[in-house]
Amino acid sequence: MSATIEDIFRQTAGGGGGPLYMRLRRSIEEAVRTGLINPGDALPSERDIAATAEISRVTVRKAVQHLVADGILIQRHGSGTFVAPTVQRVEQSLSSLTSFTEDMARRGMTLSSQWLDRGLYDPSNEETVILGLGAGEKVARIARLRIANGNPLAIERASLAASVLPDPDAIENSLYAKLDETGNRPVRAIQRIAAVNLGRHDAELLDVAPGAASLRIERTSYLPSGRIVEFTRSIYRGDAYDFVAELRLQA
Ligand code: 16G
């Protein structure tokens, strides 16, 4: 008969050296590695693990905390602890100006978005300067969690002049498709990419552990006239994205 996860827990106290919580941590890692519990599965409760392994709940909690910090487990408020889901990595070219919708469609992935915010606001100083807003002009802000094949991949927060996007509610799926309709689709963009560790709120949205590695991307997009049409701050999951740029020897 093949081993069960309970067998693995039962062997914890006897298995290997080091403090008990470290031994349990290794046991859980082994259960994940050998497929006894799979990405997305719920971990048995703290109480059940403690009873099976004959160790204290404090020890179980400590092992779980370490595995959450390692990104092997994730905790969801109110629903428990799960094996972190794995996502298919996406390769994204840094040489063409495409939209999220186009990128995912090209890969045959099903796209959905969860709206976090959309509306017209009084602009911040930064938005006024970057977007070159006139006196009294509002800013359109849209914030979305972008989800492909059911996996949250990125959080995108975009600001545009209200004159460019007077009705943020009119966007169906694609911002760039909406801008295209009014001849405001950007033709050039500058992107700045930096590594950041996720805060608790963004980590929860992206379904990864707080502190997980991610990429912060700022995109400033231009119209043919040279006017800035969009300023976006995005957070992309570090475990889901490879950004690829082609480099050539300068003549
Ligand atoms: C991309 C852009 C984002 C743009 C969005 C439009 C990056 C980092 N960001 O995700 O600036 O707003 O596409 O996508 O590439 P949509 O047309 O699907 O709404």
User: Tens digits of per-residue pLDDT, 186-234?
Assistant: 999 999 999 999 999 999 999 888 899 999 999 999 999 999 999 999 9
Span 39-53, average pLDDT: 91
- Residue identifier of the C-alpha nearest atom 10 of ligand 1: 100
Q: What is the pLDDT of residue 142?
A: 98
| Any ligand 1 atom below 6 A from CB of 217 | yes
| Mean pLDDT, rounded, of the chain | 92
- Residue identifier of the C-alpha nearest atom 4 of ligand 1: 99
User: Tens digits of per-residue pLDDT, 119-167?
Assistant: 999 999 999 999 999 999 999 999 999 999 889 999 999 999 999 999 9
Which of 48-62, 66-80, 121-135, 146-160 has the weakest average pLDDT? 66-80
Between the CA of residue 245 and those of 121, 166, 248, what are the distances in Å?
Answer: 36, 35, 10
Span 67-96, average pLDDT: 87
Is residue 14 predicted with pLDDT exceeding 90?
A: no
How large a percentage of the chain has pLDDT more than 70?
98
Reported as a pLDDT band with limits 50, 70 and 90, residue 11 is confident
Reported as a pLDDT band with limits 50, 70 and 90, residue 15 is low
Q: What is the pLDDT of residue 59?
A: 94
Global pTM reads 0.81
Is residue 48 predicted with pLDDT exceeding 70?
A: yes
Q: Which residue has the tokens 């020890």?
A: 59
Q: What is the pLDDT of residue 79?
A: 82
Probe target for ligand 1 pocket from 113, 159, 182, 234, with the most ligand atoms within 8 Å of CB: 234
| Any ligand 1 atom below 6 A from CB of 234 | yes
**Residue 200 Cα to ligand 1 middle (Å):** 23
**Residue 99 Cα to ligand 1 middle (Å):** 4
CA distance 80 to 238: 24
Span 234-242, average pLDDT: 94
**Residue 247 Cα to ligand 1 middle (Å):** 23
CA atoms within a 13 Å half-sphere pointing along the CA-CB vector of 133: 26
| Any ligand 1 atom below 6 A from CB of 100 | yes
Reported as a pLDDT band with limits 50, 70 and 90, residue 61 is very high
How large a percentage of the chain has pLDDT more than 90?
71
Probe target for ligand 1 pocket from 116, 219, 220, with the most ligand atoms within 8 Å of CB: 219
Is residue 75 predicted with pLDDT exceeding 60?
A: yes
| Any ligand 1 atom below 6 A from CB of 103 | no
Q: What is the pLDDT of residue 1?
A: 54
Q: What is the pLDDT of residue 4?
A: 83
**Residue 69 Cα to ligand 1 middle (Å):** 30
For residue 102, which atom of ligand 1 is closest to its CA? 18
